[in-house]
Structure 1
Amino acid sequence: MSELPPLPSLRDTVREYGLDARKSLGQHFLLDTAICTRIAALAGDLTGRHVLEVGPGPGGLTRALLATPAAQVLAVELDRRAIAAQQALAAHHPGRLTVLEGDALELDPLAALPAPRRIIANLPYNVATPLLVAWLRQAAGIEGMTLMFQQEVAERICAAPGSDAYGRLGVLAQWRCRAQFLLSLPPGAFSPPPKVFSAMVGLTPHAEDPGPALFAAMERTTAAAFGQRRKMLRGSLKQLGQAEALLDAAGIDGERRAETLTIAEFDRLARALLAREAADGVA
């Protein structure tokens, strides 16, 4: 069997496959191998882990992940130009890199990965938040996530109660996971440079799994509370019905505003909402 030709550099890969970054796909490529290696290292020991990467592009981070002791990397990519580049990379790593074509928002790639599962990705900006929320719903089956976001989004994920950045996304993320701000990267680290800084966030799911019904209740609770965040809770939670009774059941003063509540207080509210809906026979 003839030997494969050596892999081209990342910049040569971009040229060879015509991978000009497309705004419609939220693409900003990482072509610095040192940065890619550092990101893979931030994920911790990957020995025997099955890793999901979304939006691999020309494969800089993919190469760094394959250089670790990870058992497998599953790369989900929508851009057919990048898929061709990934398939060429897969040929150099038989059995370790699988390329799945499609939209990660419409697929369930985690179902194709055995445990223990990790998600490590430089996420396309335009789908990063909905992808994160979807993975938070499935967090019981994920060992950890190391994800790149716009820095503003990363700050929201890790924000503390009472801060300007604290909101629905931070509550959902911190309710399900321990969230850590890991690394900030300037626009110049990417090709093409975005207009904003980017940042890596580490998310380690908590041992307790709330289950789908309570997660859905938390989504409804936070959507109502932060949907009108300038209002007191007795006003913003009216759309959930019987706001005062809900607040009393959770032991929370209705004159407070959403940004002042701790994660534990939101948990009490969500559990109170779920209990009331169960009593009322609401699906």
Structure 2
Amino acid sequence: MKGLFVSTIDGLPPLREVIKAHDLVAKKQLGQNFLLDLNLTAKIARLAGDLSACDVLEVGPGPGGLTRGLLVEGARRVLAVEKDPRCVPALEEIGAVYPGRLQVINADAMEVDVLGHLNAPVRVVANLPYNVGTELLIRWLTPKIWPPFWQSLTLMFQKEVAERIVAKPRSDHYGRLALLVGWRCDAKIVMHLPPEAFTPAPKVHSAVVHLTRLEAPRFAADETVLNRITTMAFGQRRKMLRSSLKGMGPAIEAQLEAAGIPPTARAEEIELERFCALARIVAAG
């Protein structure tokens, strides 16, 4: 029941008062939708697992609702990266209540190098700005070296994006994002939120996805070749693979058959394991 007391345990005012005091009207161009219910933000923090021995990276903290949840739930330390300078004073007020446990960087998360500010193990927990959420996820999933700096990602997205992340073959949402996630992580939707949970209320529902990294990709495959195959296959997802992948070379039909994939199948029907098998065969060439 700890989450019920979040608004008083840290001695800080409710978020609506914080927003009013600092004139933090959400900006659409920054993809801002503030989650004000501190019970919900504490629940999201708990969904990230035991944070007591972890540094936590939070992107887009806004007025600090989730930041407070992370600290109350015991995060060893939180690194909050916030692009909007208006939010920094509100976040610094939180830091004063948790000395030494909150560092705020006023920067664009797409541009700042956070690694020098974090100590392993690291978990990422964020209500991501809608306009950069998917791009940040892809960056975290495609580092030069795997495993990455993070152990897990607990991220809020628009519901449709969340469904694309966890989609299975033969579903409308299944595509390259689901394949990339499934290749390197275990992923599941752990929470749904309605529009009215946010200020301002977005036009879409939201969902929290929890991703736990695998120490090595689920199936062996050359990343560059796999990326090329899936880009071509899902770029023309309604076409048969022997047609959408003909740019891979004249041997593609035989290579599809060798990978156990019917050349007449479409991309949305094929599981990750088969795509990885095809990538190995193509790479061996």
TM-score, normalised with respect to structure 1: 0.89
2:174 pairs, out of 166, 173, 176, with 166
For residue 238 of structure 1, what is the aligned residue in structure 2? 246
Which consecutive unaligned segments of at least 5 residues does structure 2 have?
1-9
Q: 1:178 to 1:194 in 2, by over 3 A?
A: same
For residue 140 of structure 1, what is the aligned residue in structure 2? 147
| 1:36-185 correspondence runs (5 A) | 36-138=41-143, 140-141=147-148, 142-185=150-193
Q: 1:112 to 1:271 in 2, by over 3 A?
A: farther
2:281 pairs, out of 252, 272, 275, with 272
Aligned partner letter, 2:205 = F
Structure 1, residues 29-75: CA drift from partner, whole Å, max 9, x if none?
Answer: 01000100111111111121111111000000000001122211111
* Distance (Å, rounded) in 1 between the aligned partners of 2:125 and 2:118: 14
* Distance (Å, rounded) in 2 between the aligned partners of 1:74 and 1:8: 22
For residue 255 of structure 1, what is the aligned residue in structure 2? 264
Aligned partner letter, 1:52 = L
Q: 1:56 to 1:223 in 2, by over 3 A?
A: same
> How far has the Cα of 1:86 moved from its partner?
1.4
SS of residue in 2 equivalent to 1:155: helix
For residue 279 of structure 1, what is the aligned residue in structure 2? none
Aligned partner letter, 1:152 = E
For residue 222 of structure 1, what is the aligned residue in structure 2? 230
* Distance (Å, rounded) in 1 between the aligned partners of 2:98 and 2:255: 55
> How far has the Cα of 1:209 moved from its partner?
4.4
* Distance (Å, rounded) in 2 between the aligned partners of 1:174 and 1:159: 9
> How far has the Cα of 1:111 moved from its partner?
4.8
1:201 and 2:209 aligned: yes
Aligned partner letter, 1:73 = V
Q: 1:109 to 1:246 in 2, by over 3 A?
A: farther
Aligned partner letter, 1:56 = P
> How far has the Cα of 1:248 moved from its partner?
4.4
1:188 pairs, out of 184, 187, 196, with 196
> How far has the Cα of 1:253 moved from its partner?
2.0
SS of residue in 2 equivalent to 1:125: coil
Which consecutive unaligned segments of at least 5 residues does structure 1 have?
277-283
SS of residue in 1 equivalent to 2:132: helix
Contact 1:218/1:270, CA 8 A, preserved across alignment = yes
Structure 1, residues 242-274: CA drift from partner, whole Å, max 9, x if none?
Answer: 433542453322211100111111222233344
Count of aligned positions: 271
Aligned partner letter, 2:141 = L
* Distance (Å, rounded) in 1 between the aligned partners of 2:91 and 2:224: 36
> How far has the Cα of 1:162 moved from its partner?
0.6
SS of residue in 1 equivalent to 2:68: helix
> How far has the Cα of 1:173 moved from its partner?
0.9
SS of residue in 2 equivalent to 1:253: coil
**How many percent of aligned residue pairs carry the same amino acid?**
52
Contact 2:42/2:73, CA 8 A, preserved across alignment = no
Contact 1:52/1:110, CA 8 A, preserved across alignment = no
Aligned partner letter, 1:237 = L
RMSD: 2.0
1:9 and 2:14 aligned: yes
Contact 1:137/1:215, CA 8 A, preserved across alignment = no
* Distance (Å, rounded) in 2 between the aligned partners of 1:128 and 1:257: 28
1:21 and 2:26 aligned: yes
Contact 2:164/2:174, CA 8 A, preserved across alignment = yes
Deviates more, 1:230-239 or 1:174-183: 230-239
Deviates more, 1:201-210 or 1:75-84: 201-210
Q: 1:210 to 1:241 in 2, by over 3 A?
A: farther
SS of residue in 2 equivalent to 1:45: coil
SS of residue in 2 equivalent to 1:56: coil
> How far has the Cα of 1:235 moved from its partner?
1.5
Q: 1:230 to 1:92 in 2, by over 3 A?
A: same
> How far has the Cα of 1:93 moved from its partner?
1.6
* Distance (Å, rounded) in 2 between the aligned partners of 1:203 and 1:39: 13
